[in-house]
Each structure stands twice: as structure tokens, then as C-alpha cells.
Chains A and B, each alone.
Chain A
Amino acid sequence: MKSGRNQPLTLQELAAEAGLPARTVRFYIARGLVPGPAGAGRGAAYGSEHLARLRVIRRLQAKGLMLAEIARALGGGKPEADLPEPSAWWSYPVANDVVVWVRAGQSPWRTRQVRAALEQMASRLAGSTEQEEEEEDGNR
């Protein structure tokens, strides 16, 4: 452990100073709660501002705030990109020539309702050609 506050720290040293596992510190950096290091590779260094930020996070956590709330409280935080939600829309090909787009992230009951409607639509469009019916069965 280094005593001088102005000495640059490695990630492991920063974690030890803050009393956190290194993995947790990386997790915070990825979430935009803590800035990344100055420099890259072997030269990557962390300083007192990183340590101070980690202590603020701990304090806010002790107050009952979640990481998502802390990110907002600290101004910024990364945009919500790590959930695979590339588009707010899903496409459902209900027939060979028909695709229906549905907004993603709806409540489960609404999703069920929409899917039920889609199913009905799909079976109507399929008419009675056996091949398509088989395809539908195979999907269940």
C-alpha cells in the first residue's frame, strides 16, 4: 500500500486502498461510476480522485442508494446500453410476406396480449396450407 496520496496507484492498489475487490472497481468503471485510468496498458494509473469517488459511492450506498441512482446522482453515468436492447422494436414475421413490429420492453401482460393477437393473425394468414401449420407447430 502506498502512503503518498499523490503517487499514482495501480488498479489493485486502488482497490486495496478503497477496501473493495478489484472486480468491483472494474464493474464501477464500466458503469461509468468511476472514471477510467489515466494512461493505458502498464502505464494505467489511478489517483486520489478515483479513491475519493469510490468513497463517495460507498457513502451513498450506505444511505440506501442503488448503483443506478448513484450514477445519476454523480451526474452522468453511462447511457443504458449494456442491456441488449438495440432497438425499441421487435419484428415478428407472422407470414412469409407479413412482418409485424412491436415495441419492446412492455409489461408482461401486454406482451402476452400482443403475442396472442399475433398468433391469431399468423394462423389466419396461414390459411390452411399444411406446410405453414407445421412450421407453426414446430415453433411451440
Chain B
Amino acid sequence: MGYERERFFMDVLNNLVLGFSVALTPINILYCFLGVLAGTIIGILPGIGPVSGIAMLIPFSFGMNPTSAIIMMAGIYYGAMYGGSTTSILINMPGESASVMTCIDGYQLARKGRAGAALGMAAFASFIAGTFSVVGLMVLSPPLAKFALRFGPPEYFALAFLGLTAISSLGGSSLLKGLISGVFGMMIAMIGTDPISGASRFCYGIQDLIDGLSFISVSVGLFAIGEVMETVEGSLSVSHFKSKLSGLLPDIDDWRASKGALVRGSIIGFIVGVLPGAGATIASMLAYAVEKRISKHPEKFGTGIIEGVAAPEGANNSATGGALVPLLTLGIPGGAATAVMLGGLMIHGLRPGPLLFKQHGDFVWGLIASMYIGNIMLLILNLPLVRVFASILRIPRFILLPMVVVFSALGVYSVNNSLGEVYVMFIFGIIGYFMRKLDFPAAPVVLAIVLTPLMERTLRQSLMMSRMDLTIFFTRPVSCVLMTAALLSLFYPLLRYLWSNRDYLRKRKMNKNRGKL
């Protein structure tokens, strides 16, 4: 046993050396830097989240090799978590949804004149938790990938099904709307060529549709254009922050107050990140709630205490590392951001999964090593340069929004030099706007588009294997566990509703019975 553990750590160490040899090439350092820089800016800009950011920048990765591309995309993802805290603390507006919880205590700290300490703690918390999650990714991924090598079609179907049901039920405010989004995404994914029989479906003779709707067009439309439309309808004035930024280093009391929150936030974030469906936003909410519950002075939360910044900022960064575990080892993204990354990699002709993990160590370990480097870059970017980044907030919306539109349109155009794909982006922008307005989550649509080809192929293969017997998904142990989890995630909201209203329902039943008497 001891020997095996030793060998495992030797493997990890060897792989890490390999990873750093990839990540430390000048070109990859450059892309890592560009990624974290873009991520920080995207995180700061309200209205543009990490998903639209990654989707908008995918066209720029085409000249690169896939390793550089994933290094950059991941950099945007975790970089946005750093940047998002800046606006939360300074102007009480989350730059992206995972920083919502940081607003509560972060802004109060800023009002007390302690914006510097809050920003500093947010950056350190992100750094510590980010590094923790890279270690977790490094330790957890190899055994998981090895395990997944044995998966057959039923297991893959169950995995993808779980990924989709989990994000549909956890992602939005209503299970029903989440499911509608997911099924809508799957229906859209039907357009194009059938992966098994090769028949073209729902193309109506339109050449552009033979390959299916372009993933980039749909996600840029739903996220970037939809976000622009939603932002533009509101006030276009820019909020200024007034508090001065001084003393960016948290003092010893801050550290003492935050150290527990940092550890718990990192662990919660990583676990939530690995699980399908939840993501950085839920991780930060959970971490904040846990801190508040176990705190000796829960009443102080919301009045501006430093652990109220450390916990959610740690958790949202840790979740990004966790979210990469299922993406890299199984090829199944757990959320919208990783789904967009998967879509980007597939354009490069790369399909993450256990095989890739085994055969292309340079890709996986290069990414992991680059995340160590990226986190250090982010700490440097976000501590001394936070004033510079905060000034991005001064860019007026009437300038910013048309720029985002042009950038999206040209990016989508340059993928295949096709104007048709930009029209697809346009249509999905309008759909995305109404989905936002009506509270339909967009993430399940994107996830469904990425996962449906895999799901359809494995579903049909499985059913052919079993001669149309659905029990094949429940007679194999791994797929049985996954399917059960998927069904639970579907029915959990219903059960919770019945449970929380059990008194009411019981009373109503009693009243009815009384009526009969």
C-alpha cells in the first residue's frame, strides 16, 4: 500500500515537471497572461460574465495549438473570479454572478473605508483557494480518469444525462424552466447530420445547417448579445466609487478572522465545483452560508466583516479548479463555462476524456501547471494594479456595449467566414434576451448542445446493445448510480416542496376529511 502511494506521488511529481516544461514555454506564458488579463477585465465589467468572455475569445484561439487554447480559456475562467470581486467591493455590483455574495460584506467594508483590505483579502483568498483547487485537481484527476477508461456507452449516457439534469435542476430558480431550457437545447442540437445514420435532420436544404448550428454562434448569442440587450435597457450611467484605496494588505487581525473561512471556503468550493450542475456561484453562496451558521457572531455578517469576503471569494475560485476535473477526466462539463471550453476544444479537434488524459499528458499537465503560474500572475495583477483595473469601470456603457456587439459579430464571422453564423448569433441573442427576462436559464441550453451528440450516440448504442431494454442503465453498477443521482436531481425539488409544505398539505387533507364528515 505504502509503495503504491509512493508511486502515485512520484507519478504526480513527474507529470508536474512535464506540465511545467509545457507551461513555461514563452508562448504559453504569454497566452496564460492574456487569459488571466482578459479574465480580470471581463470579471470587472458588469454585464459580461466568464461564459460570454470565453465564448467571445474562442475565435482568437484558432491559430494556437490546443494546449495554448485551453490555457488561455481556463485563465479567463479563473481570472474572472478575481476581477468579479473588485466591482462587488467598490460599487456593490457583482462583475459576474459568482461574486454576488462578496457584495454583502465587501461593500460594507468599503463604506467603512476598508476597501483596500477587502480587495486585498479577496485577492489572497482567490490565490490560496485557487492554488488549493489546482492541487485537488492534480490529485483527484488521474485516478478518476483511470476509472473512466472502463466506461461503455451506458455509463457515458448516464454521465451526460446526470450533467444535464443536474444543471437544469440546480441552475435556475425553477426546475421546470431549467428542464425546458435543457430540452430546448437538445432539440436545437438535433439540427444537422445524424451521428449514426448520417441522415440530415431539420436542414431543409440549407447548406449552413448540415454541420448543425455552430456552437460558438449559439453561445455568443445567448450569453454576450443577450447580456448586452439586458444591460442596455437599463440606465447607462456609470457608478463611481468614492472610497479611497489604501492599505491593500489585510492586517494580522484580518488574517486571524479569515483563516477558518479560507480553509472551509476552499474545500466547499472544490467539492461543489466537481459536482455536476452547481458551479462557482452556488459554491460561494454555500460557503457564505456555512460561515454564517458556524460563526460565533452570525449577526455581524452583512455589516462588513472580513471573513464574509474571504469565504465566498475562496469558494468561487476553488470551484473553477474543481469544475475542470469532470471536464478533463470524463469529457463531461459540469456548467456553462466548462461547456463553452469543451466546445472550443472540439473545434480544435480535441475531445477531452480519459483517453486524452492518458495519451496527452502534456495537454492536461500543461494546463494544470499553467494554473499555478496564472494564479501567481493574478495575485500580482490584482494587488498593486487594482486601481488601474478599477478605472475600467469608468468606461461609459454607451461605448462599451456597441464594442461588445461588434467584437462578438466579427469573432463569430471569423470562425468559418460565414455571415449565416452571425445571423444565428443574432437570432439567439434575441432568444437569450427573452430567456433572461422570463427567468429561463441559458446554461442548460449550452450544455445540451455540447452533450447531445454524445448522449444520442450512447443512448442509441446502449439500446441497441440491450435490444431496446431500458434496464441496461440500471443493471450496470456505475451507470445505475449515475442514473439514480440524475433521477434524484430531477425529483429532489418536488420532494423538497412536498416536505416543506407537509404541514400545510396535512392540514388541507384533514380539512377535506372533516368536510366529508
The yes or no verdict on A and B being binding partners is no
Chain B interface residues (CB < 8 Å from chain A): none
Chain A interface residues (CB < 8 Å from chain B): none
